């Protein structure tokens, strides 16, 4: 039982105590620190991802280094799941499919690599770094998403000078909603505002009053989140307007697959 101290027990505080307290606060602030800032990761099912947990030590951090990774339980009544830890210069791995990104985590990199991720790997992960008197942790969110299928491109309308053209970019597989973005990457890269518009949900690019200056390569990017660069697929369409014909070339590829080309020529 705690009890209130008797007035007779009060003693005069030594003059150096405030200095000691301030020094302790500054030491704890300037000691061990996790420097990685990214806290949200999007990854496609079957891919790998590195959860960043880089840290700096201070001279006063003298004890043995300990690193722990946990998968946080969604139910507060259940314990967090330990995944891997580093203690006494040894690595202890409890689960397959994850490992420290660095061969020697004590050098300041406690990042964790998850391999061949599954949808069930979605969750909250925690990195803990301890080296007395320092003790820091970092929380990260991981969202595993269904991989987007290769975009399919098509056109609607007669490809003739002065006509209206609709170019579509669509995917058959992937977590919704999927955002589509069009960009012209050759020639005059600016879309004429009065002749073009986009539908980012349906993946449609409309070009009115088709002109020779519309020749060039167009890129469609499909992604199911704003920041998930590893859950992105792209298709390229090359539109070349000639004096006697319009040539529409479909280039379907991503960073892994080889390029396949189909050309369709239509008279003007």
| CATH number of the domain where residue 119 is located | 2.60.40.10
DSSP three-state, residue 69: strand
Burial 120-130 (b: 16+ CB within 10 A, else e): ebeeebbbbbb
Residue 7 pLDDT: 41
Q: How many domains in the chain?
A: 2
> Does position 44 have pLDDT exceeding 70, yes or no?
yes
pLDDT at 106 over 50: yes
Domain-ending residue, one of 91, 118, 145: 145
Q: What integer best gives the mean pLDDT of the chain?
A: 77
Residue 162 and residue 183 in one domain: yes
2 pLDDT exceeds 90?
A: no
- Is it the case that residue 208 has pLDDT exceeding 80? yes
Question: Which residues, 6 or more positions from 72, have their beta carbon under 8 angstroms from its beta carbon?
Answer: 80, 123, 124, 125, 126, 139
Q: Is residue 113 part of a domain?
A: yes
- The per-residue pLDDT for 113 is 97
More confident residue, 233 or 126: 126
- Alpha carbon dihedral 49, 34, 122, 75, in 10-degree steps, equals 160
Answer with the one of 145, 169, 200 that is the final residue of a domain: 145
Interatomic CA distance for residues 14 and 26, integer angstroms: 20
> Residue 163 belongs to what domain range?
152-267
End-to-end CA distance of the chain: 95
Residues 229, 179 share a domain = yes
| φ, ψ at 49 (rounded to 5°) | -145, 145
pTM: 0.64
Report pLDDT digits (tens) over 7-24: 444 445 455 444 444 344
Is residue 215 in some structural domain?
A: yes
Q: Contact at 8 Å (CB) between 80 and 73?
A: yes
79 shares a domain with 156: no
Check residue 216 and give its pLDDT.
80
**Are residues 219 and 183 part of one domain?**
yes
Query: What percent of the chain stands above pLDDT 90?
Result: 34
Are 220 and 200 within one domain?
yes
R_g of the chain, CA atoms, integer Å: 29
Residues 183 and 216 occupy one common structural domain:
yes
Task: Answer yes or no: is pLDDT of 96 > 90.
Answer: no
Assess whether 100 and 175 both reside in one domain.
Answer: no
- pLDDT (0 to 100) of residue 227: 57
Domain boundary residue, one of 145, 175, 199: 145
CA neighbor of 179 nearest in space, from 249, 227, 236, 216: 227
| Same domain? 168 vs 90 | no
Does the residue 131 lie in any domain?
yes
Flag whether 18 is in a domain.
no
Least confident of 3-7, 16-20, 105-109: 3-7
Report yes or no on 6 lying in a domain.
no
pLDDT of the residue at 262:
29
Q: What is the mean pLDDT of residues 147-156?
A: 81
In SS3 terms, 93-107 reads as ECCCCEEECCCCHHH
In a domain, 126, yes or no: yes
Instruction: Name the residue with tokens 């170019």.
Output: 167
Quick one: pLDDT at residue 231? 61
Q: Are residues 256 and 156 in the same domain?
A: yes
- Output the pLDDT for position 235: 78
Is there a domain that residue 16 lies in?
no
Identify whether the C-beta of residue 154 lies closer than 8 Å to the C-beta of residue 163: no
pLDDT band at 30 (very low <50, low <70, confident <90, very high): low
Burial call 236-265: b when 16+ CB within 10 Å, e when fewer:
bbbbbbeeeebebebbbbeeeeeeeeeeee
Q: Is the pLDDT of residue 104 over 60?
A: yes
Residue 199 falls inside a structural domain = yes
172 dihedral zone (left: phi>0; alpha: psi -120 to 50; beta): alpha
- Coil, helix or strand at residue 202: coil
Q: Which pLDDT value is given to residue 158?
A: 76
């Amino acid at each position: 039982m705690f009890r209130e101290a008797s007035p007779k027990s009060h003693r005069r505080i030594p003059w150096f105590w405030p200095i000691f307290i301030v020094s302790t606060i500054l030491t704890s602030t300037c000691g061990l620190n996790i420097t990685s800032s990214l806290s949200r990761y999007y990854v496609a099912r079957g891919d790998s991802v590195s959860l960043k947990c880089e840290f700096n030590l201070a001279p006063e951090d003298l004890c043995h280094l300990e690193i722990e990774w946990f998968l946080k339980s969604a139910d507060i009544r259940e314990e967090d799941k330990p995944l891997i830890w580093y203690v006494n210069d040894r690595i202890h791995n409890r689960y397959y499919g994850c490992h420290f990104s660095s061969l020697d985590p004590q050098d300041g990199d406690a990042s964790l690599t998850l391999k061949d991720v599954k949808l069930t790997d979605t969750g909250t992960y925690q990195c803990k770094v301890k080296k007395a008197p320092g003790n820091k942790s970092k929380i990260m969110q991981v969202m595993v998403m269904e991989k987007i299928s290769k975009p399919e491109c098509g056109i609607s309308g007669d490809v003739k000078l002065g006509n209206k053209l609709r170019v579509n970019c669509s995917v058959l597989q992937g977590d919704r909603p999927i955002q589509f973005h069009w960009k012209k990457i050759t020639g005059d890269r600016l879309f004429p505002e009065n002749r073009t518009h986009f539908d980012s949900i349906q993946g449609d690019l409309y070009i009115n009053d088709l002109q020779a200056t519309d020749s060039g390569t167009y890129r469609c990017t499909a992604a199911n989140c704003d920041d998930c660069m590893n859950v992105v697929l792209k298709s390229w369409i090359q539109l070349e307007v000639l004096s006697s014909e319009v040539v529409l070339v479909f280039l379907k590829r991503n960073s892994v697959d080889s390029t396949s080309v189909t050309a369709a020529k239509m008279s003007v």
